[in-house]
Amino acid sequence: MSVIVGKKAPSFSAAAVVNGGEIVNDFSLDQYRGKNHVLFFFYPKDFTFVCPSELHAFQNALSEFEARGVKVVACSTDTQESHWAWLQTPKNKGGIEGVKYPIVADTTKTISEAYGVLAGEYEYDMDGTLTANGPMIAYRGLFLIDKSGTVMHQLVNFFPLGRNVDEALRMVDALQYFEEHGEVCPANWQKGDAAMKPSFDGVADYLSKH
């Protein structure tokens, strides 16, 4: 697992389901570069238990993210057909009907690996057979990406631990406040709280490039 905060978000082009039911074959986060912040999150599998609670929670807060100019995008290692079927399943039957943000199909597992959230390892044995040790699915990774494509916040949870959507919104507010005012946000900062003048070169360097 790797830390990619401060680095450019890995680029990809993959199939995804958008608007709750339309499959596109060449979805990429690059379409948002220079225009939007992106909240890109991974979840382990379709048709499970904790995962739909998270996907519905992000949908319930989608208007809050959109009001801040943030695009929400989900991703797992299931296929686009599995995503589509799950999106057509009502919430009371364990589905995610009503979710409108894009859900990427990382069927090759290369996106999860590039973002450092792929659970399990693979190798070739002495006979040249590819073998996997572990489930080879994504941990609950979350990445906040700025308009230039730089990862500004990274969070990775193990499978049983669902994420806090309000905290994700708080991080968006903190990042956007920092970008607008050049001030840093202390512990437990909330929108409307006082911030502080930065005292280290990394902040000035970032602002000079953005």
Residue ranges of domains in the chain, CATH in brackets: 14-163 (3.40.30.10)
- pLDDT at position 133 is 84
- pLDDT at position 199 is 74
Give yes or no: 75 in active site. no
- pLDDT at position 202 is 58
- pLDDT at position 56 is 98
- pLDDT at position 94 is 95
Tens digit of pLDDT at every position of the chain (210 positions): 689 999 999 999 999 999 999 999 999 999 999 999 999 999 999 999 999 999 999 999 999 999 999 999 999 999 999 999 999 999 999 999 999 999 999 999 999 999 999 998 877 778 877 678 888 999 999 999 999 999 999 999 999 999 999 999 999 999 999 999 999 999 999 999 999 988 766 555 655 566
* 147 burial level (CB within 10 Å; 0-12, 13-18, 19+): middle
- pLDDT at position 77 is 97
- pLDDT at position 121 is 82
Catalytic residue among 16, 51, 111, 145: 51
